[in-house]
Amino acid sequence: MASGSDRNPIIIGGLPSQVPDFDPEETQEWLDSLDAAVDERGRERARYLMLRLIERAREKRVAVPEMRSTDYVNTIPTRAEPFFPGNEEIERKILNATRWNAAVMVSRAQRPGIGVGGHIATFASSASLYDVGFNHFFRGKDEGDGGDQVFFQGHASPGIYARAYMLDRLSEQNLDGFRQEKSKAPYGLSSYPHPRLMPDFWEFPTVSMGLGPIGAIYQARMNRYMHARGIADTSKSHVWAFLGDGEMDEPESLGQLTIAAREGLDNLTFVVNCNLQRLDGPVRGNGKVIQELESVFRGAGWNVIKLIWDRSWDPLLAQDRDGILVNKMNTTPDGQFQTYATESGAYIRDHFFGDDQRLRAMVEGMTDDQILHLGRGGHDHRKIYAAFKAAVEHTGQPTVILAKTVKGWTLGPNFEGRNATHQMKKLTVDDLKRFRDRLHLPIPDKELESGAPPYYHPGRDSEEIQYMHDRRKGLGGYVPTRVLRARPLALPDDKTYATVKKGSGQQSIATTMAFVRLLKDLMRDKEIGRRFVLIAPDEYRTFGMDSFFPSAKIYNPLGQQYESVDRELLLAYKESPTGQMLHDGISEAGCTASLIAAGSAYATHGEPLIPVYVFYSMFGFQRTGDQFWQMADQLARGFVLGATAGRTTLTGEGLQHADGHSQLLASTNPGCVAYDPAFGFEIAHIVKDGLRRMYGPDSEDVFYYLTVYNEPIQHPAEPDDVDVDGILKGVYRFSAGTSGSIPAQILASGVAVPWAVEAQRILAEEWDVRADVWSATSWNELRREAVEVERHNLLHPEEEQRVPYVTRKFSGAQGPFVAVSDWMRSVPDQIARWVPGPYQSLGADGFGFADTRGAARRFFHIDAQSVVLAVLTELAKEGKVDRSALKQAIDRYQLLDVASADPGAAGGDA
């Protein structure tokens, strides 16, 4: 690993501005030499000399400005290419068979009556890139560690399946079950890399474009984090991310490049498959995407390797004394190169080489067919090997390989380089014959002319298959493979939860702080304390977690190389190479990527981590919801804390910070167990059960979402007869009504429970209503259980019909039900159909705004007095109170006047 100073230079180069010239005569001599080179040998020769000087300056460790882009040629010159250790002829045969099976699999999935689609052009362009990786670089897990982590490009999945078929990891039944996961079970294959659907095969879901790149960056970082903290030896693990050039338009693809460079993640390689096409057409038809990406990655501090031309260009480039060929390469736009990929050799001779006599002379001795087969570097095993080897041997920086390919390569003229090739799924008989011939496969015409085209396997004892097995054995096992080696954790006993269960006494604290107090006790546990990974997007102080700074410290691989401005304070900001806290800057996407990498470490490296990601609740499921789906797909575990939750609780922040819907968004994620707790003792039971479900002996592939608030309240101690089962299932009676003769029920969650208790008091004292207050810790879990009960009843009519938990829980409750929360009504409305009685919900529907808590709650009519009105309204419908009471209540509590409301508690950022 490179030293800190080499990995993180503060100044990477630049032109002098205020530096005085102490020897102007010497300076003038250098300038005169350059002028003479230009005048006597021309600008191209002078340019070449300047480039060589820059190259030599870097060799001598002289700081010179970084060039934004270099010539449109391979970064690694022919003379510097290493020996290729493989058998290229055998590897070509393997790749040909893999190409065929991938394309046939997708084509067969289009057979009549199925028609489930698929993509073949992406893998066709990147097949050689994967093949070299499989044969020479990707490490498996058989040595007991995590091996390499490979993020496969989602649309290339058919090729990965085809290779697994060659190795007897998948059967023909599996291939014919592509995209038929249920109807062909247990042989069905998922459309893309989906670990949840194929948990023994895929490790990383990548097809939601942009999430693969950011996921790979933070996976590489998590590997370093785990190693630095002594949790797992990840020193041999290398992270590979195979990406599309069109995919690089996604903000997440490029948005976090600098963290990889800043932390010197030389355990990370991006391989960008630059086939110059998006899904519908050119990426940069009028430009050059490789040059653009080179500039972006260089500017971010990455090592850039361009892999543009195959070996057939080497003799031509060797002749290019005047630089005319390189200039032509530099100035030809991508759209024109795509046209060349679809045209004849004669067309290329006339249009690429034909406008300059020197270019025409270079190819005079070549036939049109030879010109046609001047290829791209991403299809040349030797060039690819050189690039991959240089990447894994480079130190101090992450590496990106920009590999130029042709989309649909080898699939024939109807596919190669065509704008529509991404959407083309079926090969005609003529396409199949041309494809077979190009791949030199021994498949007779008759097998192509009737029925579905056959798969091809050279035989289990063939030299190709033995070669494949030998290569994988030498590299530590098959890839991709997901392995579970983690053992259940020894979880804390009840003593750890005792403090938070006692309540807050006379002190008022927010539920965020209650959780932080519990977390502090959990992190002291000898068994699991060090496995907690704290994650926040630059808001630890907002959430009252700055108390962790001195002890847990903030992870920084370079340590703290400055004196902290608050170093004299008790809660000083402290960074450390072994820090436990990930302070990922103002990037929820980056934090969520850290969460996923940590939450899946139990599978990736066989060592469980317990991530705790705390963030402004508005910026979770709304801003990074796609990543939470990725988290569920990757079977990651951990705790997600939507802090400063609620539409009206985060006073003064306004519309874009007012979260009244993340619980609803969380309900859409099947892997998410969501709670909205009101008190510390509820949090204690939820967290304890979450640890059991995610890290205990019968671990489940779920993650927990808790919404916590920043409004200080007094937390009661846990009741002696606390209904733990009700807390965990989603609802329990918190406070039974003790006075009043007219029964009613109030359901509330989170910060709304105190409003419900106040409404209970008012109803009893002023309206003779005896209301029970129920704490609905999880509307989502109540609905989920009820839906599952209905599904069972639908399919098992002959059995005794089950009753949802929420229905059973309220079976003895009298009177109407009024539900209230700081969420939009759709959140409590999730359970309406199963509540055995009249049901009305109150909620904060609409946009939030900045005001006092009291004014906001009066505006949305969710405060205690509004709850009173809602209960009276429902009772009036039943004839249990006179309707005149409703107008009396509105006037008495001034419910139409927002300004009349008690402003409520102020402050309480945490």
Contact between residue 818 and residue 871 where contact means Cβ atoms under 8 Å apart: yes
Contacts of 345 (CB under 8 A, 6+ apart): 367, 368, 369, 370, 371, 372, 373
Secondary structure of residue 174 in the 3-state scheme: helix
Mean pLDDT, rounded, for 303-326: 94
- pLDDT computed for residue 422 by the predictor: 67
Mean pLDDT, rounded, for 579-593: 94
Most confident of 20-34, 58-72, 860-874: 860-874
Contact between residue 488 and residue 692 where contact means Cβ atoms under 8 Å apart: no
pLDDT tens profile 724-752:
999 999 999 999 999 999 999 999 999 99
Is 5 a residue whose pLDDT tops 60? no
Which of 539, 422, 436 has the alpha carbon at shortest distance from 118? 422
Whole-model pTM? 0.94
At 632, give phi and psi (nearest 5°). -65, -40
pLDDT tens profile 129-174:
999 999 999 999 999 999 999 999 999 999 999 999 999 999 999 9
The pair of structure tokens assigned to 737 is 């009504």
Is 909 a residue whose pLDDT tops 60? no
Dihedral of the alpha carbons of 641, 643, 646, 650, in degrees to the nearest 10: -170
Contacts of 124 (CB under 8 A, 6+ apart): 99, 102, 103, 407, 408, 409, 410, 411, 415
Mean pLDDT, rounded, for 110-126: 89
- pLDDT computed for residue 904 by the predictor: 78
Secondary structure of residue 403 in the 3-state scheme: strand
Residue 14's pLDDT band (boundaries 50, 70, 90)? low
Mean pLDDT, rounded, for 61-71: 78
Mean pLDDT, rounded, for 74-92: 96
pLDDT tens profile 174-215:
999 999 999 999 999 999 999 999 999 999 999 999 999 999
- pLDDT computed for residue 1 by the predictor: 44
Mean pLDDT, rounded, for 51-59: 83
Mean pLDDT, rounded, for 95-110: 94
Residue 55's pLDDT band (boundaries 50, 70, 90)? confident
Instruction: Give me the count of residues in the chain.
Output: 910
Contact between residue 613 and residue 591 where contact means Cβ atoms under 8 Å apart: yes
Amino acid at 184: K
- As a whole number of angstroms, the distance between CA 541 and CA 554 comes to 13
Residue 2's pLDDT band (boundaries 50, 70, 90)? very low
Contact between residue 766 and residue 791 where contact means Cβ atoms under 8 Å apart: no
Most confident of 37-46, 373-382, 646-655: 373-382
Mean pLDDT, rounded, for 236-242: 98
Which of 198, 195, 220, 212 has the alpha carbon at shortest distance from 246? 212
Residue 382's pLDDT band (boundaries 50, 70, 90)? very high
Is 10 a residue whose pLDDT tops 70? no
Q: Give the other-Cβ count within 10 Å of 382's Cβ.
A: 18
- pLDDT computed for residue 629 by the predictor: 97
Residue 412's pLDDT band (boundaries 50, 70, 90)? confident
Q: Give the other-Cβ count within 10 Å of 899's Cβ.
A: 11
Is 13 a residue whose pLDDT tops 70? no
Residue 907's pLDDT band (boundaries 50, 70, 90)? low
Is 4 a residue whose pLDDT tops 50? no
- As a whole number of angstroms, the distance between CA 678 and CA 686 comes to 11
Residue 420's pLDDT band (boundaries 50, 70, 90)? low
pLDDT tens profile 323-361:
899 999 999 999 999 999 999 999 999 999 998 999 999
Mean pLDDT, the chain, whole residue set: 93
Is 89 a residue whose pLDDT tops 80? yes
Is 836 a residue whose pLDDT tops 70? yes
Burial 498-509 (b: 16+ CB within 10 A, else e): eebbebbeeeeb
Mean pLDDT, rounded, for 705-718: 96
Q: Give the other-Cβ count within 10 Å of 529's Cβ.
A: 17
